[in-house]
Amino acid sequence: MAEPAYTVASDSETTGEEKSLPLPEIAIGIDIGTSQCSVAVWNGSQVELLKNKRNQKLMRSYVTFKDESPSGGVSSQLSHDIDMLFGDTIFNMKRLIGRVDTDPVVHASKNLPFLVQTLDIGVRPFIAALVNNVWRFTSPEEVLAMFLVELRLMTETHLKRPIRNVVLTVPVSFSRFQLTRVERACAMAGLHILRLMPEPTAVALLYGHQQQKVSHETMGSGSEKIALIFNMGAGYCDVAVTATAGGVSQIKALAGSTIGGEDLLQNMMRHLLPDSENIFKSHGVKEIKSMGLLRVATQDAIHQLSSQTSVQVDVDLGDGLKICKVVDRAEFEEVNREVFEKCERLIIQCLHDAKVEVEEINDVIIVGGCSYIPRVKNLVSNICKVTEFYKGINPLEAVVCGAAMEGAVASGIIDPFGNLDLLTIQATPLAIGIRADGNKFVPVIPKNTTMPARKDILFTTIHDNQTEALILVYEGEENNAEQNALLGYFKIMGIPLAPKGVPEINICMDIDAANVLRVLAGVVMPGSREPVVPVMEVRMPMVDDGHGWCAESLNRTYGATMDLVTLKKA
Amino acid sequence: MSKKLLFTPLSTFFNRTLTSIPQRFSHHLKQSLHSSAPIIPSPPFTPCDNLCYSSPFGFLRFCRKISCSKSEENFQTTCWNCHAVPQSTPFLFCQSCCSIQPVDHSIDYFQIFGSERKYDVEGIDLEGKYKEWQKKLHPDLVHSKSQKEREFAAEQSARVIDAYRTLSNPLSRAIYMLKINGVEIDEEQTISDPELLAEIMEIREEVEEATNSEALNDIRSQMQEKLQNWSNSFAHAFQRRNFEEAKKAIRRMTYYCRVIEEVVKKL
């Protein structure tokens, strides 16, 4: 095909269009954790984790706004955890990114040392760091971008080449809207996302690679192996079921939720100091300090409870507030019962969605910071009926290693020993559909559909002579449309006058090989095969910040006047 | 005419697929049309993939007809890239130059898995073959190639996914087998068989009354057994080319599958 006479290639416009270079640049793998972060790269023969100047492979994910220029966890040197708890440091950005102020996860972040305020009207929350007694407004995207810049510089120094392409891992429960926020942060940091991978699928890739190696070495037939991957970090808990053979891993099902170490920590803090939320509400300097001290003490206690059955918590929070208490493991487990039950439900749901029986699982892989907690290990092994977990995968490095391998594969690197002879066939982590049948969420592409995918569903009007229909596209798992993430909306206009239930409105959704989602809408009248109005094709997500406003006001203005129902065939 | 006939799949208008409208019509397919001719004098449908839901190639229903009227001259048997003659069938991928070929809709799902058209797929390693194909065809692996070939990859890979999904499920496999024999099933057709109606009422009551997981699991295994039985009768009917019986079996299977889904939701 002839090239256009001119090409404007700005950073944002080259997305998804990888030009073939003579020497392909190897994309690096980045695992941005809620609490810790790591970078790895394929060095020509294997995956190598990069270290910062302090010789750390795992770097804390935070940015401090203390001085003139902010500094992040890659370069700065904290002498103690408490140093990031004075209100001038923003962390947990992965829990906050792409969420509006009606989101329960945002509400649960209000007793962090920095400021998180909400108006509960569906706009972005007010997030600020305390710098010289002044609140400096920021956003999770901005903080993440600052952090990524440091990460990029560190990697560039290490590899002695400019870095542009990255494979980034994300939680399973991230909506496509949240992914656009992550992409935005990357763009701000001068990075181009070659691929976004749900975290457990990066582990699946690594597992597929190891299995292929084993079958090569033993000259085995390389029969199919099914693994369950459980990944629980500070912010998120994800489960995946993968079936791998000959280096090809098919993701059979994914399940994820925003629960993690942060919830365990907050529940424990509440347990140790029941009124903590009220005490810390004001976010004064003194309160922030006490909150920080409590956080550190609780964190230490939880860590110790992984190896011992009870722990003495002894901390002076100032202002006469003292905590002196012995906490045992059973108490910790009881306080967090709901979190652990949720983990169990995720595993059961994932197995069910994958249509895999427990007996069919060959390996159970458990990764993430919370995988050291005895109760977590217990619940996974109980459900999967195993006595031991898969060995040969480092629980804290598995995700980033998988991402680095994907980076090499996606960059077109060929390994003479076949080490990169790998493929992960992804499935949709969440259902995508529209609002119809009242306030219901009607999935068009169900969850766990193999990608690329295209599906369509027929709808019809609910009013006589209804000439317009509002298509609200949501992504999620909830039956109630509004509890899912809004990806965008558009109107179909010019529906011919007809009694309700007659016009056929076809909503088609297409996820292509580059994971781009398009929504198509067409209207056909019975007796005709041609669409009566030109077919609308809209790329999603199209909403920007403050999208919660849109859904709210759309509802208030239009109500059900432009609604659709699924077309029931007689 | 049923509503389905009226309905134009939206993909018809989807520009990405327009580039790959097949210009050929295989001998194989024609044969199967002939063989079904005595039973159904004029098959209302041309055989077509994409039966249940996903319809990346739904537009075929039309262009087939167009291509039918055209000659079969431009039947392509060599690689579009290096013009090598295929070394093996089905020809989705050129072994000489490693290029992915455009989708050839005359290759049916069974051919993709190297099998004859038979209902019993016990002996076929569907999963293994599926992965083997994906390793050659998946769009993730060809991003350095031309735009044209990347499109072929997306379509071929999607078709192999469809083929795998269709053949690995007994119900969709049954529907597909009838379809490639020119027999269309309207899945949404109202049930008129009084025997089945009575049974449906009974099962529905049972499901409603089942409160614990034990009772639900019990219903589920009953349904699975029935599904298996009717799957067997489909196989027999199909073998005798008794398509009416086969359709009856499919209606039963469709219903039992739905009950299983409902039960699973309640579990």
Nearest CB neighbour to A412, from listed B131, B132, B144: B144
Whether A261-335 and A431-566 share one fold: the answer is no
Average pLDDT, integer, range B215-234: 91
Of A174-178, A525-529, B23-27, B161-165, the one with minimum mean pLDDT is: B23-27
What is the interface pTM, i.e. ipTM, of the complex?
Answer: 0.71
Return the pLDDT at A13: 37
A427-456 residues touching B, CB cutoff 8 A:
450, 452-456
CA–CA dist B88, B104 (Å, integer): 15
Which residues have a Cβ under 8 Å from the Cβ of B35 and sit 6 or more positions away?
B181
pLDDT (tens digit per residue) in A279-291 = 888 888 888 999 9
Taking phi first (over 0 means left), then psi (-120 to 50 degrees means alpha), and beta for anything else, what does residue A486 get?
beta
Q: Is A21 on the interface with B (CB under 8 A)?
A: no
Return the pLDDT at A127: 94
Q: C-alpha distances in angstroms, A330 versus A265, A311, A315, A381, B65?
A: 15, 11, 21, 18, 70
Task: Identify the burial level of A536 via C-beta atoms within 10 angstroms of its C-beta, where 0-12 means exposed, 13-18 middle and 19 or more buried.
Answer: middle
Start-to-end C-alpha separation, chain B? 39
B127-146 residues touching A, CB cutoff 8 A:
127-128, 130-132, 134-135, 138-141, 143-144
pLDDT (tens digit per residue) in B60-88 = 233 222 233 333 334 457 888 888 888 77
- Please report the domains of chain B, with CATH numbers, ordered by start residue: 3-179 (1.10.287.110), 194-266 (1.20.1280.20)
Alpha-carbon torsion (A534, A535, A536, A538), positive or negative: negative
Nearest CB neighbour to A425, from listed B10, B62, B138: B138
- A452 with B14: Cβ contact below 8 A: no
- A522 with B10: Cβ contact below 8 A: yes
CA distance A92 to chain B (A): 32
Which residues of chain A register pLDDT less than 50? Answer: 1-22, 570
Confidence of residue B251 (pLDDT cuts 50, 70, 90): confident
Of A288-292, B102-106, B191-195, the one with minimum mean pLDDT is: B191-195
CA distance A372 to chain B (A): 31
- A524 with B8: Cβ contact below 8 A: yes
Q: Is the separation of the CB atoms in A260 and A233 below 8 Å?
A: yes
CA–CA dist A78, A71 (Å, integer): 11
pLDDT at residue B13 tops 80:
no
Question: How many CB atoms sit inside 10 A of residue B52's CB?
Answer: 15
A247-266 residues touching B, CB cutoff 8 A:
247-248, 250
Instruction: Classify domain A261-335 by CATH architecture.
Output: Alpha-Beta Complex (3.90)
Return the pLDDT at A545: 61
Q: Is the separation of the CB atoms in A299 and A262 below 8 Å?
A: no
Confidence of residue B122 (pLDDT cuts 50, 70, 90): confident
- B13 with A522: Cβ contact below 8 A: yes
pLDDT (tens digit per residue) in B132-159 = 899 888 888 887 788 888 888 888 888 9
- B140 with A508: Cβ contact below 8 A: no
Return the pLDDT at A221: 56
Confidence of residue B20 (pLDDT cuts 50, 70, 90): very low
CATH 2.60.34.10 fits A431-566, yes or no: yes
Q: What is the DSSP letter of B141?
A: G
Q: C-alpha distances in angstroms, B254 versus A457, B173, B175, B210?
A: 19, 12, 10, 21
A196-235 residues touching B, CB cutoff 8 A:
224
The token duo for A202 is 């990066």
Single out the residue of A12, A99, A19 nearest to residue A411, CA to CA: A19
Return the pLDDT at B14: 47
Task: Return the domain boundaries, chain A.
Answer: 261-335, 431-566
Please provide residue B166's backbone torsions phi and psi, each rounded to the nearest 5 degrees. -65, -45
